[in-house]
Amino acid sequence: MTTELVLLPLGVVAGALTQRVTGIGFALVCAPLLVLVAGPFDGVVLANLLGLIVSLVVFVAHWRDTEWRRGLLLAVPALVAIPLGAWVARTVAPAPLMVVIGSLVIVALGAVVLSTRARVLKGTRGAVVAGGASGFMNVTAGVGGPAIVLYAVSTDWEHRKFVATFQFYSIFTNVASLVAKGGLPHIGTTALLVSLGALAVGLLGGEVLSRHVDHAAARRLAIGLALTGACFTVVKGVLSW
């Protein structure tokens, strides 16, 4: 239990800091430790629950920067794709699926970063494609952020507005994920209280840190996290093939 109470807050604080500064990355950073502590199912459910709280807190603080129409254009196709992704995850071998999905994101992000001609996810169609891909990936591979970052880079989305709108979007997807997985994680009261306390510390620290990190650096970090998530998806698929 002592080890759990050390790993749990470390992962949650790191995830909350990352999400507050870059706009994405909570589950990517903390989920591995949460899974180690709470197991593969409850660890991911706990990440969904804490991710929902993070998104709500950041959204309440920065809702004025939200681009509502763009957020809904991302959220609606994501909600449509989540049941489809859950069905695919149950019927298609997950390992090759993760390798294909992760590889596509890596290639797409690399192309977008290296060439403005590769910025194909623009306008309404781009938002729909990105939202659907994100929702699908969130269910099948546990990584929904890279597709949204790809859209943000393709459209030169201002980082401040991206951060606020992504929280709005994440509220929908986290709630849908919790419903799809049957509700709250089955962990002890102590572990839950420690997680919530660590979340508060991470959010406060992220608020302070975000004032000293310029938007360009935060955007580069977000792209790096997206690539890391995509690479993690490929590696996870290869190892479980």
pLDDT given at position 200: 92
Each residue's pLDDT expressed in tens, for the chain with a length of 241 residues:
566 667 788 888 888 888 888 887 787 778 767 767 776 677 778 888 898 999 999 899 889 999 999 999 999 999 999 888 778 767 777 678 778 777 877 876 776 666 566 677 888 999 999 999 988 887 776 677 888 888 998 898 998 899 899 999 999 998 988 887 777 888 888 888 888 999 999 999 888 888 888 777 877 777 787 777 678 778 877 887 7
In sign, the C-alpha dihedral spanning 170, 175, 176, 178 is positive
Distances (CA, A) of 138 to 1, 105, 192, 209, 221: 30, 13, 23, 28, 20
User: Helices marked H in 115-214 — which ranges?
Assistant: 123-140, 145-154, 159-180, 189-210
pLDDT of 197: 92
Q: Find, among 177, 160, 146, 151, the residue nearest to 61 by Cα.
A: 160
User: Do the Cβ atoms of 6 and 24 come closer than 8 Å?
Assistant: no
Q: What is the pLDDT of residue 165?
A: 95
Looking at residue 91, its pLDDT comes to: 79
pLDDT for 100 equals 76
Interacting residues of 25 by C-beta distance below 8 A, sequence separation 6+:
15, 18, 19, 145, 222, 225, 229
User: What is the model's pLDDT at position 112?
Assistant: 61
Q: What integer pLDDT is reported at residue 75 of this predicted model?
A: 96
pLDDT for position 115:
59
Can you give the pTM of this predicted structure? 0.79
